[in-house]
Every structure is written in structure tokens, then in C-alpha cells.
Amino acid sequence: MPQQEYKLVGKSIPRVDSKAKVTGEAVFTADLELPRMLVAKILRSPYPHARILNIDVSKAKKLRGVHAVVTGKDTAGEKWGVFRYTRDQQLLCVDKVRYVGDEVAAVAAVDEDTALEALELITVEYEELPAVFDAWSAIAPGAALVHEDKPRNINVEVKIDVGDVDEAFARCHLVREDTFVAEEESYFMTEPYAVVANSHSDGSVEVWMPNASPHTKAKALSNALRIPLSQVNVRKITIGGAFGGRSDVFPAEFITCLLSLKTRRPVKLVYSREENTIATRKGHAMITTHKTGVDKEGRVLARESVAYLDGGAYSSTGPIATSVPFLCHEQAYNVPNVRFTGYRIYTNKPIGGMIRVHGRSFACGIDTQLDMIGKELGIDPVTMHLRNARKAGETTPTGSYVASCGMTECIEKTAAESNFLDKFNNPQPLRGIGMGVNSVQTGFPLGIRGGSQAFVKFHEDGGATVVSGVVDNGQGNDHMLVLIAAEELGLAPDDIRLISADTEVTPTDAGSYSMISTFGGGNAVKRAAEDAKAQIFEVASHMLEADPQDLVAANRKVFVRGAPDVGVSIAKIVRQALLMGRPIMGRGSFAPEVDQRREWITNPRGQLSQAFSFGATVTEVEVDPETGMVKALDVTCAQDCGFALNPMVVEGQFEGSVAFGGHGGMLSEEHRWHGGHCLNPTMLEYKIPVMKDMPRIKPIIVETIDPAGPYGAKEAGMSVAMSAAQAYCNAVGNALGIYFNHFPLTPERILDAIEKRKEGQGIRTAWEFQPARVIKTDDGT
């Protein structure tokens, strides 16, 4: 259908879920109240690394009001891992604790005070062990091992080698190597983690929690609790943000279910802000060394990157986390010869997961280094980016065909809108402008593979109910699904009811992580609606005495194309279909066309994702050279989202991405540590941006109409989040004539770099860091 004929998609209309959210009606997990509900609390390790010698829960059990106490003994040592080969996290620690916050025991009691008192009555004997807190000390020979079976604390090793890197370096006009370091960042979604579990006498258990994939959670719980999958029912609930931090499975839901099964009562666990920070996931600290070679025109001919990710105590999504920074880069830039070696290293710190600006040392390193090379060659950043930008029809080094790509347009539009070259070529003191570009996937396999399925059923009044496994973390997936169904069925959004993210009712969906929901779930709902529409047309064709192919559904009616006045209402068609014994029941399924043989470590080749989004951001800043404080003035961001299903929502995603990825992510957000203790687990000392500090943001939507996306849509916002980080980094650097290589750019780092700045020493990074190298292990590999 030509775009102009769309009734709903492509237009800015209010989200269907927002009314419940502005009235306080929307129910989040912590808001749930069930009869006889108990309160759960978790006892956590106060030590970064210790052997558990004994746990005595007898006193806690005797406390009045305590209904259950569980420890590792109740779990049969069950371990969780996203992949079969990364099962390393005990759901309750049995032998060792590996970070401050590791789950040791849990209680369910009549109220919070009693539960807290019970925790105090549990005595745990620990034998403290030497611990490691950063990648360098963790890989040192002889370092304490977080997991005894993992020498040098290497959790994951990803090796990619495409083309002939060494030969290409030899041909290069210019080669430079620089090392970039980034500290840990956190999600700080506004809703702290919470779980409610309710077990029933039929053996089933219902679970509510903020999550990015109800079906993944149900599978993990089914395995760990040894309950059939069909009896673990993860329910729909409003979710207060995810940003990558709700994708994984946590001990919390397992523990809450276990307590509910033991007590035969509903149990609620609500995390404190501190627990949400240390005991869910955090972004990885990362050291990346990039060696890049270019020709005279600044075209990158070869790149070799080695990265160390500080993964914390357990694997989580380790193989993915280690690969994705490289993969985003190979999508964004056309680099024919590349070698990447990525290590995820265990340390005695909270667990690293995927986050919105995942791999900021990698991404910001790439663009900082490109700026440096441009400077050496006398080529401006816009030209450098354009010369190396990915284009549609190309294939990435690891073998993903790029069907649609608006990277060039994003670069050109942000450069033009921000007047980039003029400002870059006529610098004002302490003002800086910088550009970043990046690309993200629309979906990739997270341990499980699979597409999304959906159903559409009709009500006798002509309204429809859509059933989909897609979960809404806050980004607007519910709205997206309703919008697509309404568009296809010729209904208004108000005519559509949505049942989603309830594993008992909804068909499977891979989950709302890795930017897949619109592409996967949206396509499935579109197909289900198309199927329902075909059935409607079939019935209507008899009523209207017309060929189904000539029919159109719009304004709650079906009519022959070109004759909207003589239509028949969908309600009537639905009732007619019932009379005919052919109720309208639409089914749809969509699985992205990806290479099923591709595997993160053993076979990182083949189609990774069916579509990719591309984005460019330009940031303008002013720096106070005495304090190192940065004021962001203007941000111009563009992303090729394929097609903007709802421009207002897409813009909102861009703006949020600038705040999270660029502003907070590059200027202030980092965790500080004292040994294994996080010094800033709370919202006071972890500095997420506030309204007053945010710059003006100019969002630019670029559309390339992806051949496989629903209406051409891909994903909205993530390429902005990533590129914004790079743009902020380069803008601050541009203001001061410094190439930063330690992130985020906190005032003290900026000041330190200013003080260390030496004129006439050539083009160099602010700090000299030990480069990350391929690790030689004892067995010679």
C-alpha cells in the first residue's frame, strides 16, 4: 500500500497506554496486593568473595510471623545461564559468594519489618577469600579465581578475523593505535525491581515482574523449579523501564516463587534502589585498544580491536555482551579487513549486562580515533564519517546483508541541520562540536531462538482483541501492536483490545530486547491482522458481491475500493461469519531471516539480524576549563528507523536516548568502587541527568522503508543512544583540543586532561593506558 493511504501508522497519535499512566491507574509489580500475601527479603553477601562455611537459619525460622526461610540447600544447586555453556550462577549460593550482594538466603514473613528482623537472625559463617576487582588484576597469573574452572578469570573469548588484516595494514597510508577505557554505568530505570509470585493448589505458579521476555523467564523458572512450563504463568504488568537491564533471569524471581511454593501463599519481593543497582545488572567497565589503518583519503582499510570487559561475578549475557560492541561497529562502518578479540573477565563485582550504550569505550574509541586520523590527514569529521559509512546492499564483515541503510542521510542531515562544518572550521574558544555514528541490530538470538506469533479474534461489535507475546517495557510496544492491528483491520485504536506478555495466554515471542519488538512482534501482529482481514474479505465478498481482492477495510467498514459509501460494517461481517460457522480468527507468525547456524563464540558468521538501524548525532557543548564542567547546548540526532510508525513516539525515543546515552552516559554516569563495594548505588550519588541540565534536542527521522520491516519499520532510538555517546565525547574533545580516552567525561577527568595537555606532542590521547592485547594462556592458545 502506498504510504499516503495509511490511516494510522506514520501519524503522531497518543499512546494507548498513557491514559492509565497519567491517572495512577497503571499497576506496576510493587503495586500488586493479593490476599494473604507475604513479604520476602533476601540476605546478601556482605563480602566480595568468600566461602560459605555454614548457614544457620534456626533462629530466623522460629521468629513469629516468619513463614519460610530458604537457602542454597533448597535449590539443589540449580544454576542459571543464558546459554547452556554459561550456566555459572547458583540461584542461591551454596559454596561461595562472589560479589557484594550475592544471594545467600531469603525469608517470607507477614510484613517487611518481620522479614528484615528474620534476616538479622540468620547467621552465616564465611571464610573471606582474596578478590579481584578489575580486568587487569583478574587476568594476572596467580590471581584469585572467581570460578575455579576458569583460568585467568576468562569467562568468554570471542574471536573474529575477516579479510587479511596484516596485509591491509601493510598497505595503509597511516596506522594508529589507541586505547580507550570506560567505567561501569547503570540503568537506573525509575521502577526498582520487584517480583510477586502466587502458587496454586494445582501446582501452578503465577509470576509478575518487570521483564523483557516473559517467555524466557517462564522457561528458566520452569527448569529451575522443576515445574512444567505450562504451569509457570508469567503475567502481564506495567513495566517502569528496562534499557537492557531486565533481559536476563535473576535469582529474585526464582527465590520468590520458591517461597510462594513453600508457603502456599502469594509472596512479594520489592528491591531497594541499592539492590536494583547491585543485584540485577550493570554496564561493563571496558578497555579497548583499536589499531586502525587508513588510506590517504581516510578510508579505513584495516582495523584490529582487542577488548577486555569487566563482567563481574557471573556470565549473564556474556557472549553477546562481548560481541555486540564490535558488531555495531562493523554494521556502522565499511571496514573490509577486521580482527576482533574480545574477552569478558570475571571479577568479584556485580554482574555486567547489556545496556543502552553498551561498550562505550569501544564505540567512543572508534569515533575519537577517526577524528584523530582526520586531524592528521586534514579531513573533517563529516567527510571521515561519510567516506567510511555503511551503505545499503553491502554485507558486513561477518556476513550480514544490509537491506536498508540510511547512514549517509543521517550524517548529511545532522551535519546540515547543526551547521557542523561551519562551526568545526571556525572554532570558538571552549565551544565544541562533535559527531558520532552507530548502528544497532533489530534482534539477535538470546540463548533461545524463535520468532513471534500473534492472534486476532473479533467481538460481535466489530472490535478485535489482539493476542501477542510481546512485552512493553515502557517504550510503547503495546501501542505499536495496537496501531498495526488497527491499521490493517480498518479499525480505530480504541476498537482494539490487547492481551500481551502473559505466557499462559499469549503465544511465544523472543522478548523485548535487542530492539526486535517492532520488527518481530510487529510483523507477527501485522500478519495475524492480514490473516483476519482476508477472512473478513472472504465473508464480505459474498455480502458485497465483489472479489476479495478489490476490498478495502477502513473506518470500521469493508467496501469495494473507490466506493466507500456502499460498504458493510465489520461488525456485521463478523456476525455473518459466526452464522456461517467461520468465526474470524487471525493467526500470524514472523521469524526474522537470520542464519540459524550463527553462534556467538563458535561460529560468529552469517546473517545476524534481518535489519539494522543507523544513526548519527551531533552535539555542541561549552566547557568550563577551570572546573571541567560541561554544558551541553544543542544536540541534533538522526536515525534511520526504517519507517516511523508513530513519529511522536519515535522522537520521544530519540530524546530519551540523548539523555541516557549521550548526556548522562558520557558526562556523569559511572559507578565508583571501594574494593567490591559500589560507592554510589543510589540515585543521589549516581548522577543521571535532570531536566534543567538537558540541552535542546532536534530529532530528525530518516526513513528507508526496510523491505522486511512492518511498513518498513526497524527500530527507534538505539542508534541515537549509541551515536550520542560518541558525539558528546568528540564535542568535549573538540572544545578543548583533547582526544579523550577515559569515559565518562566527568569534571575531574576533563580537568586532569586539561592539566596534562601538552602542546606540540602530536595527535595523542589524553592518557596513556596499557593496551589490551590478545591473552596468551598457559596451554599456549
Position 99 contacts another protein (CB under 8 A): no
Q: Which of 7, 34, 46, 386: binder of another protein (CB under 8 A)?
A: 46
Site residues for another protein, 718-757, by CB under 8 A, read 746-748, 751
Alpha helices in 53-144 (DSSP H): 58-62, 112-121, 135-139
Q: Which of 230, 419, 627, 770: binder of another protein (CB under 8 A)?
A: 627
Residues whose CB falls within 8 Å of the CB of residue 602, separated by 6 or more in sequence, listed in order: none
Instruction: Classify residue 99 by its DSSP letter.
Output: S
How many Å apart are CA 718 and CA 243, to the nearest integer?
10
Contact 273, 507 (CB under 8 A): no
User: Least Å distance between CB 21 and another protein?
Assistant: 3
User: For residue 535, what is its C-alpha cell?
Assistant: 477472512
Q: Which of 674, 760, 761, 779: binder of another protein (CB under 8 A)?
A: 674
Q: Which of 250, 346, 660, 711: binder of another protein (CB under 8 A)?
A: 660
The sheet with strand 696-703 has its strands ordered as 431-441, 612-624, 629-642, 696-703
The sheet with strand 96-97 has its strands ordered as 96-97, 50-56, 123-128
User: Grid coordinates 606540540 are at which residue?
Assistant: 760
Identify the helix (H) or strand (E) that includes residue 417: helix 407-418
Site residues for another protein, 185-244, by CB under 8 A, read 187-192, 238-241, 243
Contact 104, 43 (CB under 8 A): yes
∠ CA 9-11-17 to the nearest 5 degrees?
80
Report the residue number, 124 or 168, with the smaller CB distance to another protein: 124
Site residues for another protein, 435-494, by CB under 8 A, read 473-476
Report the residue number, 15 or 67, with the smaller CB distance to another protein: 15
Q: Which of 9, 10, 15, 283: binder of another protein (CB under 8 A)?
A: 15
Q: Which of 649, 702, 738, 753: binder of another protein (CB under 8 A)?
A: 649
User: Least Å distance between CB 667 and another protein?
Assistant: 9
Q: Which of 692, 759, 778, 779: binder of another protein (CB under 8 A)?
A: 692
Report the residue number, 112 or 460, with the smaller CB distance to another protein: 112
Position 618 contacts another protein (CB under 8 A): no
Q: Which of 244, 435, 408 is closest to 324 using CA atoms?
A: 244
Position 22 contacts another protein (CB under 8 A): yes
Report the residue number, 226 or 674, with the smaller CB distance to another protein: 674
Bond prior to 427 in cis (omega within 30° of 0): no
Report the residue number, 187 or 537, with the smaller CB distance to another protein: 187
Position 110 contacts another protein (CB under 8 A): no
Q: Which of 585, 622, 680, 763: binder of another protein (CB under 8 A)?
A: 680
Contact 483, 11 (CB under 8 A): no
User: Least Å distance between CB 23 and another protein?
Assistant: 5
Report the residue number, 72 or 628, with the smaller CB distance to another protein: 628
How many Å apart are CA 470 and CA 499, to the nearest integer?
9
Residue 86, phi then psi, degrees to nearest 5: -120, 30
Position 31 contacts another protein (CB under 8 A): yes
Contact 268, 30 (CB under 8 A): yes
User: Least Å distance between CB 176 and another protein?
Assistant: 30
Q: Which of 732, 726, 745, 731 is closest to 616 using CA atoms?
A: 726
Q: Which of 23, 201, 426, 602: binder of another protein (CB under 8 A)?
A: 23
From 169-177, 198-206, 217-225, 690-698, span contacting another protein (CB under 8 A):
690-698
Q: Which of 47, 343, 458, 614: binder of another protein (CB under 8 A)?
A: 47
Position 697 contacts another protein (CB under 8 A): yes
Position 14 contacts another protein (CB under 8 A): yes
Cβ-count burial 474-488 (b if 16+ within 10 Å, e if not): bbbbbbbbbbbbbbb
Site residues for another protein, 318-357, by CB under 8 A, read none
Site residues for another protein, 233-262, by CB under 8 A, read 238-241, 243
Identify the helix (H) or strand (E) that includes residue 568: strand 568-569
Site residues for another protein, 111-170, by CB under 8 A, read 112-113, 116
Beta strand ranges found along 225-299 (DSSP E): 232-234, 267-270, 285-294
Site residues for another protein, 263-292, by CB under 8 A, read 270, 272-274
From 172-180, 289-297, 573-581, 687-695, span contacting another protein (CB under 8 A):
687-695
- Using a 10 angstrom Cβ sphere, with 0-12 exposed, 13-18 middle and 19 or more buried, the burial of residue 575 is middle
Distances in Å between the Cα of 436 and the Cα atoms of 131, 395, 722, 767 are 37, 22, 8, 21
User: Least Å distance between CB 491 and another protein?
Assistant: 20
Site residues for another protein, 506-545, by CB under 8 A, read none
Q: Which of 8, 9, 30, 701: binder of another protein (CB under 8 A)?
A: 30
Number of H helices, E strands in the chain: 21, 31
User: Grid coordinates 559468594 are at which residue?
Assistant: 97
Report the residue number, 1 or 684, with the smaller CB distance to another protein: 684
Report the residue number, 479 or 557, with the smaller CB distance to another protein: 479
User: For residue 119, what is its C-alpha cell?
Assistant: 534476616
Report the residue number, 674 or 758, with the smaller CB distance to another protein: 674
User: Least Å distance between CB 116 and another protein?
Assistant: 7
| Binding map of another protein across residues 357-386, x = CB under 8 A, - = no contact | ------------------------------
Contact 320, 353 (CB under 8 A): no
Q: Which of 640, 756, 740, 660 is closest to 700 using CA atoms?
A: 640
User: Least Å distance between CB 71 and another protein?
Assistant: 18
Identify the helix (H) or strand (E) that includes residue 619: strand 612-624
Q: Which of 330, 655, 703, 706: binder of another protein (CB under 8 A)?
A: 655
Report the residue number, 32 or 499, with the smaller CB distance to another protein: 32
Residues whose CB falls within 8 Å of the CB of residue 721, separated by 6 or more in sequence, listed in order: 356, 357, 657, 658, 660, 661, 662, 665
Q: Which of 129, 421, 554, 629: binder of another protein (CB under 8 A)?
A: 629
User: Least Å distance between CB 193 and another protein?
Assistant: 12
- Residue 553, strand partner residues: 558
- Residue 603, strand partner residues: 599
Position 626 contacts another protein (CB under 8 A): yes
Position 63 contacts another protein (CB under 8 A): no
